[in-house]
């Protein structure tokens, strides 16, 4: 399954369709590329640009030909300045060339021309950081995301909107009541569903919903992918997915980072770790159907 790095000028198929195909072919798993200092040390690498580059290249080499989605966390690259961003550019290009879809985890959110600039950075096919999808924050108002939504639609990319995250601080905003009586998280999910109306086989606007949340009381039927962080080191397991996502489980893209990355730098061990998680997620999805 290719990430559809087509010849220049050739439009990409919509992200939702490409993601559905990748999940069906490679299995529903997203693996983060999170080179934080503790993991660099655990891999026997220095906490510098050389260590960052070795970490990113090893992860891409091990997993880009196997998993559906790789998700670099941009902050861990940006902390090294321009040289770190250059490593990120290479990782994105090499991962996509090897067939993985790349989801840039940058959680950008702003208004007007600033949001347009973020959209151009990650969602313009001529950008060196162009990714198949990007995470964004809607908490300056969902309408403020319009430049990113429009840019993604033009380029065939996707957008994952923070809806109901697993960090405890998120509850004070996401579980608050909006002016019309809906929980704020439900308001965001309803906006996402409206963006995806009529899309087949899957819309290109996704929601981020934590896999560690056992008390979800929202409608997750958004006709789009549901990125579910929290599998592995954060405590959730694939077996927990059905309890959180219910009938929407077929559209869930579980995300694991340290649970797989802890097996590095051994390439075979990284691949085996990702394969185990993929098999467990497939089993959980099949059992819930």
- Rounded Cα distance between 177 and 183, Å, is 4
Closest to 225 measured CA to CA, from 138, 160, 131, 174: 160
**Rounded Cα–Cα distance for residues 80 and 141 (Å):** 31
User: Which residue among 71, 107, 125, 282 is the active-site one?
Assistant: 107
Give alpha helix (H) positions in the chain. 15-26, 37-42, 49-63, 74-78, 82-97, 112-123, 146-155, 171-174, 184-195, 241-245, 258-261, 267-288
Interaxial angle between packed helices 267-288 and 49-63, expressed in degrees from 0 to 180 and rounded to the nearest 10:
50
CA dist 83 and 165 (Å) reads 31
107 assigned to active site = yes
Active site residues: 107
């Amino acid at each position: 399954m290719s990430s559809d790095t087509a010849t220049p000028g050739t439009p990409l198929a919509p992200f939702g369709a490409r993601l559905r195909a990748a999940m069906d072919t490679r299995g529903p798993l997203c693996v983060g590329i999170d080179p934080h200092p503790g993991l660099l040390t655990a891999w026997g690498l220095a906490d510098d640009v050389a260590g960052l580059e070795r970490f990113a290249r090893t992860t891409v080499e091990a997993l880009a030909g196997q998993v559906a989605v790789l998700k670099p966390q941009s902050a861990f690259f940006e902390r090294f300045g321009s040289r770190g961003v250059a490593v990120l550019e290479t990782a994105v290009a090499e991962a996509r060339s090897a067939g993985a879809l790349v989801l840039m985890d940058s959680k950008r959110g702003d208004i007007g021309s600033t949001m347009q600039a973020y959209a151009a950075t990650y969602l313009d096919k001529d950008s060196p950081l162009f990714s198949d999808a990007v995470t964004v924050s809607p908490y300056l108002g969902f309408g403020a995301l319009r430049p990113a939504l429009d840019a993604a639609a033009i380029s065939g990319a996707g957008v994952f909107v923070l809806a109901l995250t697993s960090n405890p601080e998120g509850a004070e905003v996401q579980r608050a009541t909006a002016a019309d009586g809906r929980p704020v998280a439900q308001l965001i999910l309803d906006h996402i569903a409206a963006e995806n109306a009529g899309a087949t086989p899957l819309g290109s606007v996704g929601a981020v919903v934590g896999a560690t949340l056992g008390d979800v009381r929202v409608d997750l039927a958004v006709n789009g992918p549901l990125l579910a962080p929290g599998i592995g080191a954060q405590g959730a397991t694939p077996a927990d997915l059905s309890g959180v996502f219910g009938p929407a489980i077929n559209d869930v893209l579980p995300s694991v980072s340290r649970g797989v990355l802890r097996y590095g730098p051994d390439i075979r061990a990284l691949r085996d770790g990702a394969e185990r998680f993929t098999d467990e997620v497939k089993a959980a999805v099949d059992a819930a159907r």
